[in-house]
Structures are given as structure tokens and as C-alpha cells.
Chain A
């Protein structure tokens, strides 16, 4: 008995020390430090039509892009899947406004936001030479789950959009480059980070528009799809709406979510699950190897118990165990 208690304490201590070391690492590096030596950044002009912007995102295999206002020469926020969800919801409740939606420019997205009463996205940004830790904390508090890196040109004192950091990118970076992640051996059930109660889920036959509504109501990035017994069978992600309205066609909103998923591209990464007994080290290892965006916590029979988002993991790594 005594022995096992000792080992639990040792586990605890190890976990805390590892977290401290990871935080120290994130504080010692800046966002600039972790950028590749050469990288690309896709920026969209705010006068671009929303449907064209959608094509650009799909062509480039990205789900978000910073916006640039050419009139003021300023950074104008991020375009994310949330914006497309807003447009879908707006069009669904105002079917007579197709012309408006069809001719909508990116700059007009804020009007749509206001019209449907959605919470506007934060346009917060951070300077690339601030510590990475600071950028991560800001990212946690942003609804878009990403943080743009903005600098100012020395000569013209205009803004420069340098890059955008996402939660996944940061977690993958930590998993790849912090050996200490191997020592995060406490089971995740003990970390108090799994979202369990009031979990929003849907079934294959649920209309996709209802699922989209669930996404925006809960401000979540995905809705799990379960069968009659509550077993997890698939997931509808916020980024899936990009494929749904591909080409600016809004005819598919009456589909069921199961039918809508047929439009998903073949290189879909899949749904990642874990159990309560898994360790954070295992989850981070999975994050390192594949592009995971959340873990669904299931029991032995595959029944959905909870969800562990990347934000939850990052929040724990940055601020947990204090």
C-alpha cells in the first residue's frame, strides 16, 4: 500500500516537473524562433467574394487565412470556418437573400455576424518576438483557436502579417521537441480536463443544418455522431462546412449529416479516440504523428463518454497542476 502511494507521488512529482520544464521552454522561445526558415502565408483581400475565398481555402488545403484591408493597409482579422457557418445560418433564415450571400465580400462578414447576433471574432494578435508562452495563452482565450503574428514595418510603420499559430501547431511542436512530454504519465481522468456533461452529439439522420447550429451554439469545433446506443461512429467538424458549400452553392443544407459527410475528401484523417486511462504522453505522441484536432473519450464498448479538445490539453500544459 505504502509502495503504491509512493509511486503515485513520484508520478505526480514527475508530471509537475515535466510541465514546469515545458513551460520554461515555451517561455524561453519566441514565436519567431519556431517559424520555419522559409514558409508561405496565404492572405485574402477583404474585397474578395466569400465564395471565391472559399475556393482559395479549399484549393490550398487550408481552413483559415488572415484578411488584409487594402484600403487601410491593415490586418483585418482571420477568416475561419466560423464565418462560413455564420453565412450558412444567415442564408438559412433568410432564403430570399441569396443575391446578397452570393455577392458577399469578406469585408461584409461582420455585417452577417451582426445580423444573426453571433459573437464577433476577436481580432487579437501578438508580436512575433513575444514569448511563445504568451502567444499560447492568448490563443487559449481566442474563439478562433489561433493567434495571428503581426509585426510593424520599420519604414512604413504598416502592419505585416507574419504568420498564424494554431493550437495544433503548438501542441505538435511541444510533442516533437520537448522530451519531457514522455513523463506526463498520469491518466487523463485524474487531470480534470475532460469535458463530459452536456455533451452535444447528433445522429447520422440529423439534418446537417441542425448540426451546424449545434456547432455555433456551443462554440465547438466538432459534433460527434453516435448511434442509438451512444457509440461513437463519426464526427462532423466545423471545417466540413467548407466542403458543404463548395462553389458557393447552398443547396445541400437540407441533407442529413450522414449524406453531407459523403462530400468529405478522401484524405480525412479519421476520428481519434482514447480512454480515461490513457496518459497525456500517449495523446501527445499521437498528436506528433498525425493531425489530430480532438480526442473523443470512449469506454470499452466504444460508447462516447467525453471529449478532450486540443485547447483543453494546451490549457492544462500551460496552466494546469497549480
Chain B
């Protein structure tokens, strides 16, 4: 398909201009950014030193923070994407071509240089429509030589070609920065009029069987706040603040911050750092980021009940729990359908006066699970001949690791589940008989 759609060289230049025209915002923006943060980007060696903390350019600014190392490890193991991009960074130092998706860093730089662009300062959160259109900055690099290199892909409908610019000081290396919507994008390179793919980027075959490169643009979590506010703060506090944000952001939970809360929160965090007894607390607060207030409450909970001078903490009397009995036998209500039915009938009589047999109808499916990619796949489609690899659309991540079933026909149960396999998705469909 791309073979036929890709225009020949003569039109490529105009196409490039078309691309600019249609994506004026994104491309001009990325071009302007390139000059500013270009040098920083192109020296991945400096970044490899501290994997997780791209924000910290300077080691000296980091206060002695016992948690730091651990935090870095945690980040690497927790989120596969981060891990991958960092390993790419390391590859980068060996003259490989890389895609570095650096939402965090980029986002901040955007804040610095174009405060009015995406998230106007002062109203960091609660703008869902803006959040939907957020573009992820992506750097596409080609390192296998060539004079004129273009990239074309699903993000341009495989029609337009976007030119790559040489990286100064690195012969044979070209790159371009694009703003892409979150999701999976497939692309190939046109190198001196020849359709090619990079050997250093993830590859896959598309529905037609063409070998393509692909990348997953991951939307950054919305955690950035008033920049100026931060700059007014003393240096160490600011760093502390950044650390906090790093933590919170790492856990991928948007944090709503209001300026007046912030000062106290920072102070509280400082104190927390000092008073934190051991690393278990650290871990806890890292795993479940909490708002400032609940964190204070949490801290109080941690303090000993005996407060000295005869004061002890007031605790509500806990109601006496009934003695529970544990057994290894599965109660009949779960194994015998007639008992189960009787149980629910009784429940129904007690609670609803037999009005509605609500227990008979299963709860409604959450709307995001309605869109099952298996349903959109038709084995009778005319493309079946082409689609011999069973290629499916990219699943939305919310449907991953769910179990889907079809209705039982002819005593055969069919279940399916979509799981990640490395950086791809396998939809496994299992047919099994009912015993």
C-alpha cells in the first residue's frame, strides 16, 4: 500500500511544504524548539547518567536524598516505556538511531519557551478538551546515511513526506521532531528516493504485510503548574518541589495543585523528609501519591499513640468483630447452581420484595470495554487474503488484560484476552469445551 501511495521524488518537496502547511503549528513549533533544546537532545551520553531524572541537569542541585537511587530503580522497573526509552538513549551513544520520546522534558521546555501554547500557566488542570488534543513531542532519527531523507507514515496518511534535517557534527544522522497524537504510529523512511526502514527502531508488519517501523507516543501526565511560582521559590525548595512532582508524576496520577496550598505542601514535604523514620514510609508515599492534606493526616497516623505527659491519642472504640470461621471447603452456594439460585432468590425477597429480579441481569459493561477489536475484525472481509498474519487494529490500553467471552454455542466456550507481549499486543482466543 505505501509502495503505491508514495509520490516520486519530484513532488516530494512540494509535499513537504504541504505537510508544513497542514501541520503549521506542530512543525514550526518543533523547528523552533529544535534550535533551543537541540544540543541538549543530541548528547544522549549526558542523559544516560541519571536515567529517571532528566530534569536534573546538575548533580549539585540535588540535595542528599536517600531515596534517590531507589527511586531511579523503581522508575526503571515500573514503567516499561521509560525503560525502553532510556535503553535507547544508551544505544544512542553507540551511533544508533533512536527515538526519544521525552514527554516530561519537552513539556517543561514548552512551558519555558511557549507558555501560551498548550497549558496556559495558572490553570494547569481541569481542561479536558485540551487534554484530548495534547500532542506528544517525538524525535524521529535516521542514522543510516543518505542525502535526502524523509519520513512518511500513518500520521500523514502515508501520503505526505516530512523532511529530516542533518544533525550538525554527526554525519549520516538526520532527525525531525514531530508533534504526534498519543497512540501507535507506523512509519517508513524515504532515503534518496528509496523506501526503507530503520534497523534501530522497533519493527512490525502492517495489515498488508509491509515491514514498517513503529513507535508508541505516550501522553505525558498533566502535572505541570505555575512556572513562575516555582521560580520565586528558593533554590532548594524548588528542587524539592520538582522531586515531589517527579514522584507524583511517576505514579501517573494527575496532581491538582493550588498555589496557596503549595507553599505549605513544600514545607510539609521538607519536614516529611526529615522526620521520615525509614524507607518503608518513603515507599508508601511514593506508591500512593496523596494530596497535601491527606499526607498530613497520614503522618499523624504514623505517630505513636502515647504523646507523653499522659496524653494519648483518642481512638474510636472499634465495634467487636464477630468471630469469623475460615474453611477450605467452597460453600455450596458457589458450586451448586440450585443452591446459588435459592440464595439469590432469598436475597431478592428480603431486599426488593421480589419486585425486580435485578440479580438475574449482569451489571452493565463499562463503555470503554464495548469497543472490542475482535468484533471489528471480520474474517470474511475482502482483505482476508492479504491479512494472513491475523493483524488486528491497535487495542486501546484499557481493554488489555480483560477476559472477553462469546456466548456458549454447541457446548463450546470461547474466551479471548488481549495482553502485551513485549512491545506488541497478542489477542489470544481460546476455544474449550464445557466440561
Contact = CB atoms under 8 A, between A and B. Distances in A.
Interface of A: 28-29, 32-45, 47-49, 52-53, 55-56, 59-61, 68, 70, 151, 160-163, 166, 168-169, 172-173, 176-177, 267, 269, 290-291
B424 A38 contact: yes
Interface string B197-222: 00100111111111100100000000
B373 A269 contact: no
A78 B410 CA distance: 23
Chain A interface mostly helix, strand, loop or mixed? mixed
29 contacts: A29-B203, A35-B205, A36-B204, A36-B207, A36-B391, A39-B389, A39-B424, A39-B425, A39-B426, A39-B427, A40-B426, A41-B426, A44-B430, A45-B433, A47-B433, A48-B412, A53-B431, A55-B410, A56-B412, A60-B379, A70-B432, A163-B390, A169-B389, A172-B209, A176-B209, A176-B210, A177-B210, A177-B211, A267-B385
B433 A38 contact: no
Contacts of A173: 205, 209, 211
A60 B389 CA distance: 13
B186 interface: yes
Interface stretch (B171-179, B233-241, B392-400): B392-400
Contacts of B202: 33
Chain B interface mostly helix, strand, loop or mixed? mixed
B316 to A, nearest CB: 41
A48 B384 contact: no
B417 to A, nearest CB: 11
A28 B203 CA distance: 12
B209 A61 contact: no
B411 to A, nearest CB: 8
Given A38-B395, A40-B374, A49 B433 contact: yes
A-B interface, 6 closest residue pairs, ranked by CB to CB distance from nearest = A45-B432, A36-B391, A38-B425, A177-B211, A40-B427, A61-B379
Contacts of B94: none
Given A28-B199, A34-B211, A176-B211, A39 B430 contact: no
A181 B214 CA distance: 24
Given A41-B428, A42-B429, A269 B374 contact: no
A290 B385 contact: yes
B359 to A, nearest CB: 30
A63 to B, nearest CB: 11
B236 to A, nearest CB: 41
B343 interface: no
B67 interface: no
B432 A47 contact: yes
Contacts of B394: 37-38
Contacts of A70: 432
A36 B206 contact: yes
B376 to A, nearest CB: 11
B228 interface: no
A172 B379 CA distance: 19
Contact of B391 (A33, A39, A290): A39
A39 B373 CA distance: 10
Contacts of B395: 38
B390 A40 contact: yes
B334 interface: no
Contact of B431 (A37, A44, A166, A176): A44
B8 interface: no
A48 B205 contact: no
B379 A35 contact: no
Nearest to A151: B421
B211 A37 contact: no
Contacts of B208: 176
B389 A68 contact: no
A221 to B, nearest CB: 16
B311 to A, nearest CB: 49
A180 B346 CA distance: 74
Contacts of A38: 373, 391-395, 418, 424-425, 427
Contacts of A42: 390, 429, 431
B377 interface: yes
B432 A168 contact: no
Contacts of B435: 47
